């Protein structure tokens, strides 16, 4: 029996006859030989069909195959030093499985809107392949990192009655006879988790009814939200930078081929594994922008060009600390010696990718939190459980949220978040 393998394992089967289920990505034929470009989801490589070495039916079948038809290929694996992959298959047999006629994505250039309409097929191409391999490695490394650091994964609900990040960007749903929202952050639940298990993290979808059409916004995106009891904001920053450096190092170590497909420079990525990351205060960031000639005033939130200017002053990701109270959510802990800023930080990615993490120490004082819940216009009844966390053994605790697609977009050096997720959801797109 010939062994069935995947392309990625070809290196373990040199000079052996194997069978692989594949799709055709491209083809070149002459009278005597056909070169089939093959993919099976694990990698891409070439099949060579030599007329004098196969039956006439097999040679004719090879010549008639269309782009994206599926078939089994049987043959012997050889080293192939001319290709990046390093191996090819010398075909002895082909068995057609699924025909494909008129595949819409041809080897020529296509516009982004067309490709997004065909996303269910576009995923088969090399560039999405590379990005999804890197996304997968970052998922793997995330679980590994937080498990190594003693965190357990807690899954917050998606259907919620709370609005941690403000009420303007909620997706409303009818929940039987009452109202509910799709989760815009699992944080409040993660705080309950931290008081139960000490160190917890979540990794799941979150939803924002963002009206903005920018390259940095999706309406559905994935967030990693760690939360830690008995932990200060400074200790949380150290976890954040270790985590980001770990993600980058894991991609460097395990994604050489996808990075090469994307043309991402590894020397640039290596700079992001050096710790610690620089920290500047919000106050100093405002001064930096004003000195540069921007007319931003203290108290304003940064726009994308502001974030780019700030991060361009550093070689690594940079933490901006202690934002004004007025522009951050109600649950943060005020600075111990100032009443106008919170103990919080955003992490700005280099190369103009903007905010990838938002985090803070959390308010632990019952009265202060209750007052700020009211002031934020939130319905107190919905937050009774959250206030309970301050009634029963409250601890100093801190946490953060990493926007997963923002991190992928930066590490892969993409133009837009829409390529960092298999099926992007944006203000004007919910198909396919
Ligand atoms: O800064 P945000 O809104 O913070 C929170 O939700 C906190 N509750 C997190 C926490 O402390 N547990 O969102 C966190 C991150 C941002 O830094 C950004 O990277 C990403 O989520 N993000 C988005 N990513 C894609 N599309 C959007 N519309 C996003 N909004 C935020
Ligand atoms: Mg934020």
- pLDDT tens sequence across 301-317: 999 999 999 999 999 99
Alpha carbon dihedral 228, 233, 238, 242, in 10-degree steps, equals 50
How far apart CA 64 and CA 71 sit, in angstroms, is 12
Strands (E), 266-353: 279-281, 318-321, 344-349
Calculate what percentage of the chain has a pLDDT beyond 70.
Answer: 100
The model's pTM: 0.97
Q: Hey, which of 15-19, 166-170, 379-383 has the most confident mean pLDDT?
A: 15-19
357 touches 348 (CB < 8 A): no
Rounded-to-integer distance, Cα 10 and Cα 43, Å? 10
- The residue behind tokens 């008639």 is 64
Please, what is the average pLDDT of the chain?
A: 96
For residue 166, report the phi and psi dihedrals to the nearest 5 degrees. Answer: 100, 155
d(CA 317, CA 247): 13
Q: Is the pLDDT assigned to residue 418 strictly greater than 90?
A: yes
d(CA 377, CA 93): 70
Q: Which one of the ligands is nearest to 224 CA?
A: 1
Edge-to-edge strand ranges of the sheet holding 159-160:
159-160, 178-182, 172-175
Give residue 406 CA to ligand 1 midpoint distance, Å: 9
Look at residue 263 and tell me whether its pLDDT is greater than 90. Answer: yes
Over 80: is that where the pLDDT of 333 sits?
A: yes
Of all protein residues, whose CA lies closest to atom 27 belonging to ligand 1? 217
- Among candidates 298, 359, 304, which has minimal Cα distance to 326? 298
Q: Which residues line ligand 1 (CB under 6 A)?
A: 164-165, 185, 187, 208, 210, 217-218, 221, 223, 225, 355-359, 399-401, 403, 405-406, 417
Query: How do residues 76-92 score in pLDDT, each as one tens digit?
Result: 999 999 988 999 999 99
Q: What is the residue whose two structure tokens read 């979808």? A: 205
pLDDT category, 211, cuts 50, 70, 90?
Answer: confident
How far is the C-alpha of 132 from the C-alpha of 284, rounded, in Å?
38
164 has a pLDDT exceeding 80? no
Q: Is the dihedral of CA 162, 168, 169, 172 positive or negative?
A: positive
Is 76 in contact with 90 (CB distance < 8 Å)? yes
Check residue 153 and give left, alpha or beta (phi > 0: left; psi -120 to 50: alpha): beta
Residues 248, 272 contacting (CB under 8 angstroms): yes
Angle between helices 126-148 and 404-412 (to 10 degrees): 120
| CA dist., res. 107 & res. 67, Å (int) | 10
Query: What is the average pLDDT across 102-124?
Result: 96
318-321: strand order across its sheet: 152-153, 199-207, 220-229, 397-403, 354-361, 344-349, 318-321, 279-281
**Ligand with smallest separation from the Cα of 410:** 1
Asked whether the predicted pLDDT for residue 321 surpasses 80, the reply is yes
pLDDT at res. 380 = 87
Q: What is the average per-residue pLDDT within 206-210?
A: 94
d(CA 84, CA 67): 22
Indicate which residue's Cα is closest to atom 20 of ligand 1. Answer: 403
Tell how far the Cα of 347 is from the centroid of ligand 2, in angstroms: 9
Taking residue 106's Cβ as centre, other Cβ atoms within 10 Å add up to 10
* Domains of the chain (ranges, CATH numbers): 3-98 (2.40.50.140), 119-419 (3.30.930.10)
Q: Please, what is the Cα angle at 426 between 168 and 185, to 5 degrees? A: 45
User: Which DSSP helix (H) or strand (E) runs through 183?
Assistant: none
The DSSP secondary-structure symbol of 14 reads B
Q: What is the pLDDT of residue 369?
A: 96
């Amino acid at each position: 029996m010939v062994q069935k393998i995947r392309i990625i394992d070809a290196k373990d089967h040199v000079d052996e006859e194997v069978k692989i289920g594949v799709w055709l990505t491209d083809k070149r034929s002459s009278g005597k030989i056909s070169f089939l470009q093959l993919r099976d989801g694990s990698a891409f490589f070439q099949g060579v069909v030599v007329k004098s070495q196969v039956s006439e039916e097999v040679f004719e079948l090879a010549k008639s195959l269309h782009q994206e038809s599926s078939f089994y290929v049987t043959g012997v694996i050889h080293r192939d030093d001319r290709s990046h992959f390093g191996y090819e298959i010398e075909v002895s047999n082909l068995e057609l499985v699924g025909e494909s006629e008129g595949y819409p994505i041809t080897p020529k250039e296509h516009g982004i809107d067309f490709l997004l309409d065909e996303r269910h097929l576009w995923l088969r191409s090399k560039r999405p392949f590379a990005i999804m391999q890197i996304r997968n490695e970052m998922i793997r490394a995330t679980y590994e990192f937080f498990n190594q650091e003693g965190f357990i994964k807690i899954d917050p609900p998606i259907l919620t009655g709370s609005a941690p990040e403000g009420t303007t960007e909620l997706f409303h749903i009818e929940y039987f006879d009452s109202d509910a929202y799709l989760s815009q952050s699992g944080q409040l639940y993660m705080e309950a988790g931290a008081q139960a298990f000490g160190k917890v993290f979540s990794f799941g979808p979150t939803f924002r009814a963002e009206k903005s059409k920018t390259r940095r916004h999706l309406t559905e995106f994935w967030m990693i939200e760690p939360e830690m009891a008995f932990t200060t904001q400074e200790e949380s920053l150290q976890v954040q930078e270790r985590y980001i450096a770990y993600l980058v190092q894991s991609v460097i170590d395990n994604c050489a081929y996808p990075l090469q497909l994307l043309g991402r420079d590894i020397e640039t990525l290596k700079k992001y594994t050096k710790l610690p990351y620089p920290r500047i205060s919000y106050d100093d960031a405002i001064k930096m922008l004003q000195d540069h000639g921007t007319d931003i005033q203290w108290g304003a939130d940064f726009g994308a060009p502001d974030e780019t200017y700030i991060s361009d002053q550093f070689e690594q990701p940079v933490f901006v600390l202690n934002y004004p109270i007025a522009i951050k959510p109600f649950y943060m802990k005020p600075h111990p010696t100032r009443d106008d800023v919170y103990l919080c930080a955003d992490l700005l990615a280099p190369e103009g990718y903007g905010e990838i993490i938002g985090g803070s120490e959390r308010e632990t004082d019952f009265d202060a939190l209750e007052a700020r819940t009211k002031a934020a216009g939130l319905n107190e009844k919905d937050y009774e459980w959250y206030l309970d966390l301050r009634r029963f053994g409250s601890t100093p605790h801190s946490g953060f949220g990493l926007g997963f697609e923002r991190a992928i977009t930066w590490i892969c050096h993409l133009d837009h978040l829409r390529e960092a997720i298999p099926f992007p959801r944006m203000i004007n797109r919910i198909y396919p």
